[in-house]
Every structure is written in structure tokens, then in C-alpha cells.
Structure 1
Amino acid sequence: MDSADALAGSDAVAAQPHTHGARSPPPQPQLSPLRNVTVNLSPPASPTHHARASGELIRAEHVERKSHSRKIRNEARTSYNEILRFRASVIPRVLLPSLLHACWATLWTVLYMTGKVRWFVIPPQLITILGVVISLLLVFRTNTAYDRYWEGRRMWGTLVTQIRNLARFAWIGVITKTEKQEIEKKGLMNLLLAFAVATKHYLRNELGHKYADLHHLLIHLPDFQPGQRYPVIKNLPLEVSFHISSYIAACRRDELLDVSQQTAMTNALSSMIDCLTSFERIRNTPIPMAYSIHLQQSLTLYILSLPFQLVSLISWGTIPVVAIAAFTMLGIDAIGSEIENPFGYDENDLPQEEFCRTTREEILRVIASKATRDPGEWGAPYIEGNAEDVAAMLRAKESQGSLEGITVTVA
């Protein structure tokens, strides 16, 4: 099977993954191959193609001034619909505890207002003292969780960058001489994407390789072909990296790469392994249990003590105030728990499917493009101003003893 067909094909063997949670993962999207990929965007070069002619060509060409792209993921949302949004919020996790605390406040408020029990009143100064301590604990908890979330996102960015670099080094730097070598190079493109997809499943504790978005990327390897009884590998991304490293060594042995190219590709692969190790550190190192337990105990005691401190000041207003305080503080704590492991299927987890989909599209574009790009085929660039104008500007600056301020616009 040609590796390019395996990458673009959608008839993969889709075995159901075995997960250890109550929530089943969503079905993997079936992606269609890219179509209408434009390879050559420049006009053919000719000896008489001058810069001024390029300028006339640009002026004659209709240029779209406004780009239409997909919505940027981190665009600021100013809609008030976010206030009422239930999905992706922590309301499901904190609603019941907040209601229980409101019932607790209602009980003691009724007892106080009816005059049956009034011995439990506590000076309200404790709100300030305990509130500062609880706030510091919550801030530290949330910041620590967000650092883990952001570290995971940063590592995914580094991983995608190194996959791009390795794909560029291999597709442009490895000059194949036979059809077999061309097939092997396309197989490497499959393995680069397989590393990203296998990392996604590995971080979700989904072992094996028989997934709709992964199996066809490894099917060109002898051990992963249909009918082979290959044992389940716990760390499939590391196994894929062994095959990538073997390809780099084979290219060097066949003199398809020089030493500098081999070093650059090996460094990119090593950086990918570093990202995998960082992912494992984030996933396998939870918040210390003692800190988590103490925070929960302190937060619960603080909210339970609020009715005793507020009822003598705001009477019936104690009930909504305690409910709002419980919702706010428990929500902040729930946010920390939600994002400290950002590799799952939750709405607030990292969009790993999107990372893999973007990588897949880029790999497909690489395979659809030419492996050789000769600068001799370039046309003349568009330069604002002719050669005489630029020479006059340079002479004027040289006479002043400085070349600062010269700006040549190249489109």
C-alpha cells in the first residue's frame, strides 16, 4: 500500500477503544483528503521578466483586500450569552453543593429570626481574617492548575513545530533516487502524523493502535499490517519514534542525507521526545493530596461559618449571600480541578483533535507539493520603485554616513 494513499484514505480499521472511565469518547471524525491543492502559484520565469513588469502584473491582478478565515479560537467574546452559558461551565459540579450550603444558611437564619436560637452568633471580623487565607489558597490552586494547562498547550505547540521541521527537512532535503525511496519518504510523512495522533490517544490512556484516525497511518509497517498479532504497546509514540529514527539512519547510510541534515532531523526528533516526556509529567503528577484535602476542608469550614457571622448583620440576606459565596468559591476550586489534566474529552481540555487535524492537513499539502523547489524558476519580485530610485537613495544616505532609514518594500 502506498503511504500517501494510507494517509488520505478513510477506509481504516476502526476498532472501538477501551477506556477506563464512565464517559465514552466521541466518535473519531472521518476526514476527507484535501482537494484542489495548488502547487505552483508563481508565473513561469523568463529572461525578460523584470521588476517593473512584475509591478504591472500586480497592478493588473485583482487582489482581495479582505480575508475570510475561520473564527479565531481566542477571540474576545462580548456577548451576554456567556453569562447564561451552561455548557463548559462548572455549574454542574458546584450547583448541588451551593444549594446545600444555602439550605444550611436557611436553617440557621430561620432559627435566629424566630428567636428560638441566638447563641451561635460569631463576630463578623472572622470573615476578613479567614477570607484572606482562603483566597490565597484558591489563587495558588488555580494558578498551579493553569500552569499545567498552559504547559500542555505550549508542549503541543512545540510538538507541532518539530513535526513541521522534520517534514520539511525530509521532503526537501532527502533527494530520492528510486521509487522505493520515494515510497519510504511518504511513509515517514505518515509516521510524523502518527506520532501526534498516537500521543493524543496515549495521553488519554487509550492503548493500542486500532483507532479510526491512527491504524491506517501505521499499516505500511510490517508489524502493524492486517493479520499480524502485535502486542499492545503501552507507549506507542515512543515506538513510532524508533521507526522515524531508523529512517533517518537509513537515509544517512544510503547517502541521501549529509551529516548536518541528519543532525537537524535527529534534533527535531529529540525535541518531539522531550514534548512526550513533558506530557507524561503533567498527566502523571497530580496536585499533592495533602494540599488538596486541606483546601477542601478549609473551604467547607469557611462557608459553613458564614451564616453565624452574617445573620446578625443582614438577617434574611444571609441566605442569598451564602449561596453566592459558596457558588463563587467552590467554582474557583472546581476550575482548578477541571484544567489540571487538560488531555481528556471535556470542553475545557486542550483541543487535541484540532491539533492533529491541522497537522494532517499540512502533511497532505507537503505530499501534494513538489519535493524540489528550484529558485531558478522564480519570477522577478515586485519592488516598490525602480533601480535608479533605490540607487539614488543609497547614494544620498552614503553621503550622510548612514544607511539607516532605507526601506524597500517587497511584495
Structure 2
Amino acid sequence: MVAQNPLFHGRWTMKRFNATVINDIWPEVLFFTLIATMVTLVSKMTPHQLVIPSGLLTVLGTVLGLVISFRTSSAYERYQDGRKMWTNIVTVSKNLAMMFWVHVPSERTIEGLSTEKATLQGVIEKKTMINLIQAFSVSVKHFLRGEPGVYYQDLYPLICFLPRYANADGAHAEEDKLPLWSASDDIEKAYKRKEKNPRAAQDTLGHHPQRTVSLPTGHARGETLVDDSKSEASWFRSLSKNGNTAGRSARRKTFDPEKVLPEVDSRHPLKPARNPPVASLYDYIPLLRIFKWVVRTLLRRAKPQHEIDARLKKKKLDQVESNVPMEICLVLSSYTAFLMQQNLLQPSIATGVTNNITSLQDTLSNLERIRNTPLPFAYQAHLRMSLWLYLLFLPFQIYGTFGYITIPGTAFASFLLLGFLEIGQEIENPFNYDLNDLDLDHFCLSIQRELHEITAYTHPDPSTFIFSPWNHPFAPSDRRSAADLIHGPTYSLPHPKDGPEAGLASIRRTLVNSWREVDRETRHT
């Protein structure tokens, strides 16, 4: 089957146009085209011939082409590595879920509980751990996109029940708060410090919360969680009353996978599961960034030095580290240790579970390596400056041969070379929201669907479905059902050529005949 041409498949939108590199390279292409136009017009209309020997053109062009090809291929290799790592997350998540769901027994004996209640407790326990496996992929998605913390619509409902304090049975002091929640709360406080007005807060959070904003009291552990964001909560509630909330009701008509998640309370407004940056005028006209940089530099110089130092110090305080995926792996490892201590997991299966959790951590480290290790700045800067110099001198070298064709020729050469260079930079970090990036949301939703499919498995007794009239195990040589075979007399070939024959020898002959018939009928001649 021939693959569809992406240029003519689907409807073209501005987002799809931004996925090309045209909007990134057109100022440079225009600049070099104007240089070629100047060279051509001066050489044609004046006695001055702006021509230089073209001896270096072939040599430098070949070398530059090879370097750009290496730059693009190395970036694509990172893209492919990212895809392989996510394939590994999908595979390991399913393996872990199958091991927990199938090999960890639900029927247990718990003192003080009836058999039915104990079984229910075991099922809840396993399903909760499988939800944490789903939360791992979601947390990796936010981690790679530079979205710290846990207060997201697709992540917080899956992990909100995890312990918040080191002393679960004692007083809940802020000093006892565990790293997962301490870092996330500090990040939310940093958001509040940065925003001075509700409109700015709305732009930063990207949406209004889809869940309630006050924490429940009277948990099963007798834990009472104090809401420290009452002013922010009241602001969001006032927006909801005024009808300004772009909430879930507006999204149900199209695509809202978060509605299948639990409805839980949160002490902080939950940020959206997908919050791509809004394209601005600077994305379509990159030249304007120069003026933005000049204005910002002038304003910075106009500020007193003590204000600049205070701002830098505050910025350092706002940089909070939060490794949510690692915290989830710790919980899964702790659960595995609990199963082994309670003799609820066979040693061989426990080894497989441990290996899969180790694989998740290894995959996370590889993804972090891809995200945080760009090509060296010196290499990228030198390559771009070399390409600019090559394109700058290109019209001077080809004018003597091409004449007026120098103008479109330079435009095409700059479009081609700058495009490949920009593509390498575009796919170097494949974890963002562009159409050229990996669809991390699709991977996470796919894991979610498959984990729910695994937990729908009911552990049936094999005898209830194997010996069924629907099962024809020996076809095509013997088309009798398993029910007919098991309830009939001693097995014999259905149509023996050398007289009746029964027992294991006839079963083996049936299997050989099935192989021979399948081999003959399935070969294309």
C-alpha cells in the first residue's frame, strides 16, 4: 500500500502551516534573495561586475551539504530514540499491569473481614496500582514538556490518594511533607507569586479548573487537609458564577478524555492536560523578536541594580525540582516489596515485576537524556554562520553563469539548505506540542485504554471456555468441536484410511495432517 502524501492529505490550517519550516526561514530566504537581486541589478545596470571566482563553490557546497545532512540525521535519530522509548513505556506498562492483575491473587484471608470484603479489598488494591502505572506515563509526558508538579487534570486524580506527610499518624506539619507534594505545592506558590492579577493568572494556568478546589476532610486515615488557596478558589468560583469558565461542559461536545477520570477535590486549580503555547505575532514574523529583545534590554538597563539582583534571586527560588515519575516508581517498588513479604507473589513473577519497574526508570533516564542534551552550541552556531556565509557569497559566484536566474536560484538554494537546517533544530526535542513532535497524549491515552482492557479480564477457569462447542482445536484435519471430542469415545481419526485407530498416536497423526493441509493451502502459487 502506498503511503498517503501528507501535503495533500487532510485540511490545511494555520497550525499545519506552522508545522512546516517556512514561517521560520522566510526572513533569511528573503534576505539572501535581496542580496542576489542587488548583485544581479548592479552587475546588469552598472559597469561594475560583482563576480568572484566559483572555485570554492563546489568544494564548500559539498562539505556543507554533508554537515547539514549529518545535523538532520542526528536530530532524526533523537526523534526515533524518543519513539522507541515510548514504545518501551507502552510495552512495560502492559506487562506490569498483566502481572499485577493476573498473578497477584485477589482472594485473601484478612483478619476481621469476610471473604467477600477481603476479595474486594484485593481487587481495589490491584486496580489502584494499575492506575499508578497509567499515572507514570502521564507524569513522564508532563515531565518531558517542562510542566512540573502534579496538579493537572489527567494526573492528579490518579495519584491524589498517595501519602502527603512522612508522619502519617502524627501531626501534619509542613516540614513533614513528602517531596512529591512539597515540590508541587512550592511550584503552585511560585505561580501565585508571579501573577499579580486574575487575568494574568488565567493566562498562565491556561484554563479554569475543571474540579472543585477545596480538599475533602475526614479521609479514611482521619486526615484533614487545609486549603491554603482560599482567595484563588473564591476567584475561580466567582468566574464560574459569571459564566466565564471555559470548563468541561464546553469540551464535552468534542474531545474530553479527562471526563472518565475520578472527580476529586484539589487544593490548587488543576491545569489542563494539554496546554500548547499560543502562537503569537513573533512566531509568524521572527524579525520582530529583534525589537522585542532591544526593548527588553533597554528596560533592564533602566532598572536599578538592586531590583535586578532581587529578581534573579527570586527566580532561583522559584526553580523547584519535581521528579514525579520517579516517585511513582518508588510506590510501585514498595508495593512489590509488600507482595513479596505477604507471599502474594511468586519469586519468578516478582523478578519480572522488578525488572519491568527498572526498565521504566531506565526509559525515563533515556528520555531525560534526549530532552536535556542538545547538540553543542558551538556546533550549531558555527554551522549556521558557515551556511550564512555560503549563501551570502553564492550570488557573486553564480551570476557569471546564470544571469537573472541568479535571483530564483539563490532563493531556492537558501530555501533548501536553511530548511534542512531548521528541520534538524525542529525535531531535536520531539516532546513538545508541534505537529512535528511525538504525540505523547496519544501514547498516554492508548496506555489508558489498554490498561482498562487488561483489568476487564475476569480470570475464567480454562475448562469453562476450552471444552466448548465453539472451539475446534484440531481443524482443518479434524473439524469436530472440543465438546464432541471430550464427551465422545476414545479419540480416533475422523476418516482413517487404514482402518480405525485410537489413542495418542491418532492425535499425533491428526496434527501432522493439519500441518500438511495448512502448508499446502496457504502457499501462494
TM-score normalised to structure 2 length: 0.58
Indicate conservation of the 8 Å contact 2:39/2:395, yes or no.
yes
Which letter maps to 1:76? A
Q: 1:389 to 1:148 in 2, by over 3 A?
A: farther
For each residue in 1:117-172, what CA deviation from the matched residue of structure 2 results, as whole angstroms up to 9, or x when unmatched? 21x31223332111101101101100110010000000000111000000001100
Q: Identify which of 71, 74, 89 aligns with 1:144.
A: 74
2:138 maps to 1:197 = yes
Q: 2:347, 2:93 → 1: CA distance?
A: 20
Deviation at 1:312, TM superposition (A): 1.2
Equivalence for 1:366: 454
Deviation at 1:408, TM superposition (A): 4.9
Equivalence for 1:109: 40
Q: 1:80, 1:352 → 2: CA distance?
A: 23
Q: Identify which of 325, 339, 346 aligns with 1:251.
A: 339
Deviation at 1:281, TM superposition (A): 0.7
List runs of 5+ in structure 2 lacking aligned partners.
Answer: 109-117, 185-321, 479-491, 499-503, 520-525
Which letter maps to 1:94? I
Deviation at 1:280, TM superposition (A): 0.8
Indicate conservation of the 8 Å contact 1:99/1:323, yes or no.
yes
Q: 1:300 to 1:389 in 2, by over 3 A?
A: farther
Runs (4+) of structure 1 exceeding 6 A deviation are 82-85, 389-396, 402-405
Identify which of structures 1 and 2 has the higher relative contact order when contacts are C-alpha pairs closer than 8 Å and 6+ apart.
Answer: 1
Give the root-mean-square deviation of aligned CA atoms: 3.0
Which letter maps to 1:271? S
Deviation at 1:268, TM superposition (A): 0.7
Equivalence for 2:20: 89
Q: 2:56, 2:33 → 1: CA distance?
A: 20
Q: 1:148, 1:254 → 2: CA distance?
A: 43
Q: 1:391 to 1:133 in 2, by over 3 A?
A: farther
Which letter maps to 1:325? A
Deviation at 1:258, TM superposition (A): 1.1
TM-score normalised to structure 1 length: 0.74
Correspondence 1:137-286 to 2 at 5 A: 137-176=67-106, 177=108, 178=118, 179-223=120-164, 230-232=181-183, 234-286=322-374
SS in 2 for 1:78: coil
List runs of 5+ in structure 1 lacking aligned partners.
Answer: 1-73
Deviation at 1:389, TM superposition (A): 6.5
Deviation at 1:78, TM superposition (A): 3.2
Q: 1:267 to 1:279 in 2, by over 3 A?
A: same
Deviation at 1:375, TM superposition (A): 1.7
Q: 1:377, 1:322 → 2: CA distance?
A: 74
Q: How many residues align?
A: 330
Which letter maps to 2:144? L
Q: Identify which of 375, 381, 385 aligns with 2:472.
A: 381
Indicate conservation of the 8 Å contact 1:124/1:310, yes or no.
yes
Deviation at 1:116, TM superposition (A): 3.7
Q: Identify which of 354, 374, 378 aligns with 1:290.
A: 378
SS in 2 for 1:86: helix
Q: 1:117 to 1:190 in 2, by over 3 A?
A: same
Q: 2:496, 2:377 → 1: CA distance?
A: 71
2:5 maps to 1:78 = yes
Q: 1:75, 1:262 → 2: CA distance?
A: 45
- Greater Cα radius of gyration, structure 1 or 2: 2
Which letter maps to 1:218? I
